[in-house]
Amino acid sequence: MTVAEVFQEISAADFFYRNRDIAGFTSPSRAVYSTIRELIENSLDACETIGVPPDIYFRISHEAGPIDGPGTYTIRVEDNGIGIPGSVIPSAFGQVLYGSKYKLRQTRGTFGLGGKMALLYGQITTHSEAKIISSTGLKNKITEVALRIDIQQNRPIVLKSKSHTNKRHWRGAIIEFKTEADYSRAMSKILEYVKQTAIIVPYANITFVDPRGRLYRFLRGTTKVPKAPTETSPHPHGVDVETVQRMLKLTNAKTLQKFLRKNFQRIGETTASKFLDYAGIGKKKTPRNLTPDDIVKLVNAMKNYEDFLSPDPSCLSPLGEELLATGIKKELGITDESIQDGTAFVGTVQRKPSTYGGFPFIVEVGLASFKGISTETRILLFRFANKIPLLFDEASDVSWKVVNDQIDWRNYKVVPGETPLAVFVHVCSTKIPYKTVGKEFIADRPEVEHEILNAIREAGRDLRLFLSKREHLAKEKRRLDVFEKYLPKVAQFSTKLAKQKKEPDIRPLLKSVIKYGAEEEE
Amino acid sequence: MVRKRKSKSVIKERKEKVLSALRNLGGQVHGQILKGEFPSFRMPSRSISNILYDDKVRQYILGKRTVKRSARNVRHLRPFTQLLWTAMFVDELTEQNKTSTLRDVFYSAQAYEMDFQDQQESDSLITDLETVSAFSREDFNVYPEERSAIFGDLTVEYTIPGYEGRQLNLTSHPDGVMIGPALTTAEFVRPDKKKVDKVIAIEKGGLFTRFIEERVHQRFKAVLIHTAGQAPRATRFLLRRLNQELDVPVYIFTDGDPWGMHIAMVIISGSANAAHLRDLNTPDAIWGGVWATDIVDYKLPSSQLTDLDIKRLNELEKDPRYAGDLWKREIETFRKIRKKSEQEAFSRYGLTYIVDEYLPKKLKLKSN
């Protein structure tokens, strides 16, 4: 007897629901961290798209259950981003979508999947709806929608929808829903996440009210927002068979040569022609008629062809040396005065764009040293990818390897464990080479590793100057301390020994050692 | 009864010199600061290359090389200050006639936030002060642990507080009188030549006691001194004073081995460690024995020289202090017989043999 297996088609939403573990929703504590993270990242993206300094407010309120264990919480996140047109709100939040375009640019999330995952998780753990309020600004109305996701059908169920006039021209989005969370366990990670976000997004105001009503405010240090990334077509080195197959289905191009030119960056008439000769596929072939074998052959040829120009970095949006320094200074509490008087150091370096496997990337690095940095963990490492802080699995990250194994810090006058030092590494790419689906640490791709190494070395040169100067100053101070300690005693003892009454004035001597510096006899 | 005249106010005069040396140092530094200068002074270098043997004074001395200690130099400043503190400290000690040990100096400094890193640092500063002032630490009333003793028909007069003017005859106590700060600073009451005409320094305590029992001090008109091994500085200083102030010869009796020989030599010619100091040696003192040739002549019971003994012998052979004929001969004999004997070895011929036979013969020596 055979058991007839029942095959069922599952929706995208259902798929994510069943695989919520890989999206970072493994437990109530991890889930609340992931929820906050995904929503904040969506909000930041929504602001940066239109070049607006973000004002993010979020609140986690305790609703039911123990305060020190898993319970029900309300999450509310507000931003001043681009906003969502009222008509699009239901599908934007209530439907897990695949994008139909294959354009690339650096963003934090991918198609907003994480945000939807957060809503899904909230819905299945609390059986309640989500409330979304948004406006695209100016005189456009404010739309308020209450919805649930029909998981099996992958579509929104709108429970309530109404519009208000927008007298104050408000623009942005507010999202609020209930979810199961273990805030007490997630607290330290959430705070760390926000603090580090404030470093890498120094132009954002972030306000957070925690379940006990405590207010955390991270104020922006600048209103400059980095240039938004431009969308680009994929680079031929960075696509796979599935992607190319879909692109072929959608194209209107009549010939393969035209298809390449229109759908890929860095391919013109000549390159397309040379490449197709190399691939051994007819230029005039109709894209839609390519056989699966042809497609595999085409994609393999793309991977191996070496004469394509490098990927276009205009789809990247790095922070820049100035903004990175601003973020580091404000969150570490380093003042410009302390930098001027030589007690603190902040140095940032942005490398030129580079590529790996068809994807452009840029590495930015910051080094900071001042006495407020803890030396307990030797060198303090902060990792960021596409303006997102990476908080887990530090020791598996390529930056950790570079900082701890490859740099000989003695060359920069750093004594790990003694010299206070924080290293900030920011990798921007249209595709961050994460090692695992958890997206918490970056793989040691040689190209990326090389760039990080060189960036730290470059920034290290200034650090070395700073530390040498400090060493010199400290030595000078120790020297003066010796004079200040002992000269008065010399005066005192000699007076007593000589049976004199009045101690001679040692101030001129003290003054001269300060004035003439390190000049010494024998 | 007529009170016997004191030899001289040797101790009192010396103390005044010590105090004035210390105050000169203070005055120099004080004056330099007043003039707006960084205080500094020069002193002889104590580095090994600057330690020379001087045939004339028959002891090691420091050469011409000097070092400058300046408060201008940040590396010198701490030891410079410590030196002044030490000078101030011993000035008070000397003035108040109080004595102190090296260990006291180390701890007293802490009250002035002048802590020394360790005992060695404070010891070496005392040595610096000795070098600067050319007086030894005993002159500053800083004494090491005492272990030597003296016995004989000599009267001393104390100068230490509480005992000033009090006299003591050194036969008062049958075990001998300990040579401590009080005795070192005592004046000698000029003795009758008929009672004392020589000094005998003895390495071993057992023999010192035997000599007292056998009334050597009366029979040979001798002041007996127990050095207890290598003679402490205070004892060496006392031997020199006895030699010079009483104008009597000093005889030294040690074990018959390279180490005993060197105990005698340090009394005679001083040590390299004290090259910066004078007045600690007795150049005319006579090493009476036990010689290597005595071991042969008296057929003394003996034991083999060890490798360490031979090594020491080789070192002494190269030492300029051992240039004299007697010394050369004895080193050679030791080398030849490869034997050594203790002072007690004479007991083989009866307990009094050493006093009855050996000693009279040796006391006829006029010099080495």
Longest dimension (CA), chain A: 119
What is the structure's pLDDT at A1?
A: 45
Distance between CA B166 and CA B186 in Å, rounded? Answer: 10
Torsion of CA B327, B332, B338, B343, to 10 degrees: -20
Instruction: Give the mean model confidence (pLDDT) for residues B71-98.
Output: 87
pLDDT band at A109 (very low <50, low <70, confident <90, very high): low
Q: Is the pLDDT of residue B2 over 70?
A: no
Chain B residues within 8 angstroms (CB to CB) of chain A: 22-23, 25-27, 29-30, 33-34, 36, 38-40, 68, 70-75, 77-78, 80-81, 84-85, 87-88, 91, 112-114
Residues of B marked as catalytic: 107
Whether ipTM > 0.90 holds is no
pLDDT band at A252 (very low <50, low <70, confident <90, very high): confident
Distance between CA B115 and CA B102 in Å, rounded? Answer: 14
What is the structure's pLDDT at A518?
A: 45
Q: Determine, for residues A497 and B72 on separate chains, whether the beta-carbon distance falls below 8 Å.
A: no
Q: Determine, for residues A479 and B77 on separate chains, whether the beta-carbon distance falls below 8 Å.
A: no
Q: For residue A522, what is the nearest residue in chain B, using CA coordinates?
A: B73
**Percentage, residues of chain A above pLDDT 90:** 47
Q: For residue B23, what is the nearest residue in chain A, using CA coordinates?
A: A498
List, for residues B37-66, the tens digit of each pLDDT value. Answer: 999 988 898 887 888 888 888 888 888 999
Distance between CA B77 and CA A478 in Å, rounded? Answer: 13
Distance between CA A497 and CA B85 in Å, rounded? Answer: 9
Q: Determine, for residues B70 and A509 on separate chains, whether the beta-carbon distance falls below 8 Å.
A: no
Distance between CA B228 and CA B150 in Å, rounded? Answer: 11
What is the structure's pLDDT at A378?
A: 84
Q: Which of A482, A498, A522 is nearest residue B77 as measured by Cβ atoms?
A: A482
Give how far Cα A349 sits from Cα of A23, A56, A321, A409, Å: 33, 28, 6, 17
Mean pLDDT score of chain B:
87
What is the structure's pLDDT at A102?
A: 58
Q: Which of B30, B68, B78 is nearest residue A504 as measured by Cβ atoms?
A: B30
Question: Which residue type is seen at A402?
Answer: V
What is the structure's pLDDT at A517?
A: 46
| DSSP string computed for B149-165 | EEESS-EEE--STTTTT
Measured in angstroms, the CA of A499 and the nearest CA of chain B are apart by 8
Q: Determine, for residues A486 and B23 on separate chains, whether the beta-carbon distance falls below 8 Å.
A: no
Mean pLDDT score of chain A:
88
Identify all chain B residues contacting A498, using CB atoms and an 8 Å cutoff.
23, 26-27, 29-30
Q: Which of B26, B74, B114 is nearest residue A479 as measured by Cβ atoms?
A: B74
pLDDT band at B3 (very low <50, low <70, confident <90, very high): very low
Distance between CA A36 and CA A17 in Å, rounded? Answer: 18
What is the structure's pLDDT at B1?
A: 38
Q: Which of A496, A500, A509 is nearest residue B38 as measured by Cβ atoms?
A: A509
Q: Which of A500, A508, A522 is nearest residue B36 as measured by Cβ atoms?
A: A508
Q: Determine, for residues A493 and B91 on separate chains, whether the beta-carbon distance falls below 8 Å.
A: no
pLDDT band at B6 (very low <50, low <70, confident <90, very high): low
| pTM of this prediction exceeds 0.90 | no
Q: For residue A475, what is the nearest residue in chain B, using CA coordinates?
A: B74
What is the structure's pLDDT at A76?
A: 97
List, for residues B141-172, the tens digit of each pLDDT value. Answer: 888 777 899 999 999 999 888 898 899 999 99
Question: Which residue type is seen at B63?
Answer: G
Q: Determine, for residues B73 and A498 on separate chains, whether the beta-carbon distance falls below 8 Å.
A: no
Identify all chain A residues contacting B68, using CB atoms and an 8 Å cutoff.
521-522
List, for residues A448-490, the tens digit of each pLDDT value. Answer: 999 999 999 999 999 999 999 888 888 888 889 999 999 999 9
List, for residues B300-347, the tens digit of each pLDDT value. Answer: 999 999 999 999 999 888 888 888 899 999 999 999 999 999 998 888
Instruction: Please state whether beta strands A215-218 and B250-253 pair in parallel, antiparallel, or not at all (unpaired).
Output: unpaired
- Cβ contacts of B215 within 8 Å, gap of 6 or more: none
Q: Is the pLDDT of residue A133 over 90?
A: yes
Measured in angstroms, the CA of B120 and the nearest CA of chain A are apart by 21
- Rounded to the nearest angstrom, the gap between the alpha carbon of residue A512 and the centroid of all alpha carbons in its chain is 53
Q: Determine, for residues B26 and A499 on separate chains, whether the beta-carbon distance falls below 8 Å.
A: yes
> Where is average pLDDT lowest: A26-35, A234-243, B288-297?
A234-243
Measured in angstroms, the CA of A53 and the nearest CA of chain B are apart by 56
Instruction: Give the mean model confidence (pLDDT) for residues A63-80.
Output: 93
Q: Determine, for residues A487 and B74 on separate chains, whether the beta-carbon distance falls below 8 Å.
A: no
Q: How many CA atoms lie within 13 A of A208 on its CB side?
A: 20
pLDDT band at A8 (very low <50, low <70, confident <90, very high): low
What is the structure's pLDDT at A521?
A: 40
pLDDT band at A204 (very low <50, low <70, confident <90, very high): very high
Question: Which residue type is seen at B48?
Answer: I
What is the structure's pLDDT at A366?
A: 97
Chain A residues within 8 angstroms (CB to CB) of chain B: 479, 482-483, 486-487, 489-491, 493-500, 504-506, 508-509, 513, 520-522
What is the side-by-side order of every strand in the sheet holding A171-181? A155-164, A142-150, A130-136, A171-181, A71-79, A55-64, A205-209, A215-218
Q: Is the pLDDT of residue A65 over 50?
A: yes
Q: Are A33 and A186 in contact (CB under 8 A)?
A: yes
pLDDT band at B262 (very low <50, low <70, confident <90, very high): very high
Phi, psi of B142 (to 5 degrees): -105, 115
Residue A381 burial class via C-beta count within 10 angstroms: exposed 0-12, middle 13-18, buried 19 and up: buried
- Cβ contacts of A114 within 8 Å, gap of 6 or more: A23, A24, A34, A37, A38, A41, A42
Pairs of CB atoms within 8 A across A/B: 91
Report which secondary-structure segment, H or E, holds B188. strand B187-189
List, for residues A110-123, the tens digit of each pLDDT value. Answer: 656 778 888 889 99
Q: Is the pLDDT of residue B7 over 60?
A: no
Q: Is the pLDDT of residue A520 over 50?
A: no
Q: Which of A493, A500, A504 is nearest residue B84 as measured by Cβ atoms?
A: A493
Q: Determine, for residues A490 and B33 on separate chains, whether the beta-carbon distance falls below 8 Å.
A: yes
Instruction: Please state whether beta strands A215-218 and A205-209 pair in parallel, antiparallel, or not at all (unpaired).
Output: antiparallel
What is the structure's pLDDT at A350?
A: 95
Measured in angstroms, the CA of A493 and the nearest CA of chain B are apart by 6
Measured in angstroms, the CA of A516 and the nearest CA of chain B are apart by 11
Residue B144 burial class via C-beta count within 10 angstroms: exposed 0-12, middle 13-18, buried 19 and up: middle
Q: From the CA atom positions of chain A, what is the Rg in Å?
A: 29
Measured in angstroms, the CA of A418 and the nearest CA of chain B are apart by 25
List, for residues A423-454, the tens digit of each pLDDT value. Answer: 999 999 988 888 876 678 898 889 999 999 99
What is the structure's pLDDT at A7?
A: 64
Q: Determine, for residues A521 and B36 on separate chains, whether the beta-carbon distance falls below 8 Å.
A: no
Q: Is the pLDDT of residue B201 over 50?
A: yes
Distance between CA A321 and CA A364 in Å, rounded? Answer: 7
Q: Are A346 and A325 in contact (CB under 8 A)?
A: yes
Instruction: Give the mean model confidence (pLDDT) for residues A342-359.
Output: 89
What is the structure's pLDDT at A112?
A: 64
What is the structure's pLDDT at A110?
A: 60
Q: Which of A487, A496, A505 is nearest residue B88 as measured by Cβ atoms?
A: A496
Q: For residue A485, what is the nearest residue in chain B, using CA coordinates?
A: B78
| DSSP string computed for A296-335 | HHHHHHHHH---SPPPPGGG-----HHHHHHHHHHHHT--
Q: Are A252 and A243 in contact (CB under 8 A)?
A: no
Question: Which residue type is seen at A395?
Answer: A
Identify all chain A residues contacting B88, using CB atoms and an 8 Å cutoff.
493, 496-497
Q: For residue B37, what is the nearest residue in chain A, using CA coordinates?
A: A509
Q: For residue A508, what is the nearest residue in chain B, using CA coordinates?
A: B36
Give how far Cα A386 sits from Cα of A109, A117, A315, Å: 9, 20, 12
List the end-to-end C-alpha distance of chain A, in Å, as a whole number: 103
pLDDT band at A519 (very low <50, low <70, confident <90, very high): very low
